Amino acid sequence: MLEPWVHVMSPSHDSVIDGKKLIVLTGPSGVELEHLADYMASSSKSKVRVLKYENYLEEVSGGIGGIIGVLVNALQPRQDQFSKFFEAAEHLVEDAKNINADVIALVAHSYYYRSHHLIPNPGLERILRLWRPRAILVAVDDYYHGLDRIARRVEEKKTPPLSDILDPNDYLTWRALTTFHAQVLGRLFKSQVIVLALKHRRLNVQRLSRLLFDGAPMKTFYLSHHITIPRREASEQGIPLREHWLVQEIENLKTKLLRSCKNLILYEPTAIDELIPGNDTPLSKVVDQDNRWPHYDTPGYASFNYPLDIEEDILGKLTSLKLNKEYAEYLASRIKAQIPPRDLKMIEQSQGVIAYKPVYADKVSEGMSAEIPFAVANDKTVIIYDEEKRGAEELGLFRHSLSIVYEDVEHLKTALGC
């Protein structure tokens, strides 16, 4: 049985102003950061106050039009163009000192998109130099839902019309820069960085808020499993992905573990599921519940439209582009390139990995072949779970991760200390 150790953040620096913790929530537009922060704050036992940096930037720059002017001017190589960013940062920190709260949840974009440029937010770094955060949380979602939310805001005139193209390729670059920038800031300010997919189960998000805001002891594991093979089999059988037996088995296992293990956070790679092949293109033109990995509960902090026609609901509202075969191939290659670093980051932020059925249909998952050695190399606990007894020769490279293969969910829960 593994030691039932827990993960409590112990930052190596003073991260408080007048006893207040600072947690930063960042991400590209379209992830509804403020709603996520409010939801996580409501899940905490501490007094949490959500502050949005862009509200302060709007105040000092004279409204949303002023922000756009500041962003455009920030493209010019003049140091004084940053003054509004810095002024907004200092006002926010000053206000935070006088707020009756245990935790400040700071909502701030680390990059802005304007005039075909991705512009770093100098105000965020100024805040972190004045007040180092306990953790930086990067919210991410499937590119099509992020873009759908932006398109709806533009259509409803809730955000200024975009005069320049914002296509899925631009959005993927924006998302990648946000994630890597957070990791740089985390290293610079000795803060933990956590990547959170919006489609993670609400229970995981609630427990993550208890870990970050309250310092509650939690166990954090990444569930590694096959994705490509069951997706292909479901397509060949003409059934919704959620009806494939292996998908049902994996989702039922998640449910059992989360219900039994009250202090478990289970990071799910399928919470970002956007590499969905179409019938005649590398990416499907329509996303619905039948062709994406199921998420069974709808979070209260984000909206997920289904079905979603990528050409009509996204490209048609934001660009003049069409999802032809060539563009879909390029987009699919960009999406695929982002999967390994994001999943490995989720392993890095976990204490261990549960490897579910490493060998399926006599094949080893390409993703698991990278994830398990990465976990072992980074001294993570690796648990192999397989209901079929397999010899060491069948497990191949996985035999080096752990000497025990758990064949029963009750034994697995015992190993996790539940």
Please identify every stretch of the chain with a pLDDT value under 70, giving residue numbers as ranges. 1-16, 63-66, 72, 74-81, 160-165, 387-406
CA distance to 101, 249, 294, 388, per residue, from 252 (Å)? 38, 5, 12, 17
**Quick one: pLDDT at residue 147?**
93
Q: What is the pLDDT of residues 194-238, one digit of tens each?
A: 999 999 999 999 999 999 999 999 999 999 999 999 999 999 999
**Quick one: pLDDT at residue 13?**
46
12: which residues sit within 8 A by CB, 6+ positions away? 190
CA terminus-to-terminus distance, the chain: 11
Structural domain includes residue 343: yes
Q: Which residue pairs from 388-392 have beta carbons closer than 8 angstroms and sit at least 24 positions apart in sequence? A: 390/359
We report the CATH number of the domain holding residue 205 as 3.40.50.300
Structural domain includes residue 63: yes
Structural domain includes residue 82: yes
Place of tokens 């549960």: 354
Tell me if 110 sits within 8 A of 178, measured CB to CB. yes
Supply the angle between the helices 325-348 and 366-377 in degrees, to the nearest 10: 30
CB atoms within 10 A of CB 185: 19
DSSP string, 233-298: HHHHHT--GGGSHHHHHHHHHHHHHHHH-TTEEEE-GGGS------SSSSS-SEE-TTTS----S-
What H or E segment, with its residue span, contains residue 175?
helix 168-189
Structural domain includes residue 346: yes
Cis peptide leading into residue 277 (ω within 30°): no
Is the pTM higher than 0.75? yes
Taking the C-alpha atoms of residue 328 and residue 21, their distance in angstroms, rounded to an integer, is 44
What H or E segment, with its residue span, contains residue 229?
helix 228-237
Assigned token pair, 220: 């954090």
- Helix, strand, or coil here: 140? strand
Taking the C-alpha atoms of residue 117 and residue 37, their distance in angstroms, rounded to an integer, is 27
**Quick one: pLDDT at residue 75?**
66
- Helix, strand, or coil here: 384? strand
Tell me if 138 sits within 8 A of 341, measured CB to CB. no
Structural domain includes residue 248: no
Assigned token pair, 39: 């939801």
Taking the C-alpha atoms of residue 77 and residue 64, their distance in angstroms, rounded to an integer, is 22
Tell me if 285 sits within 8 A of 223, measured CB to CB. no
Taking the C-alpha atoms of residue 214 and residue 350, their distance in angstroms, rounded to an integer, is 18
Of 102, 176, 178, 173, the C-alpha closest to 136 is 178
Taking the C-alpha atoms of residue 47 and residue 184, their distance in angstroms, rounded to an integer, is 29
Domain count, the chain: 1
Q: Residue 201 is part of which domain span? A: 17-218+263-350
**Quick one: pLDDT at residue 358?**
82
Structural domain includes residue 296: yes
Q: Name the pairing type of β-strands 117-120 and 20-26.
A: unpaired
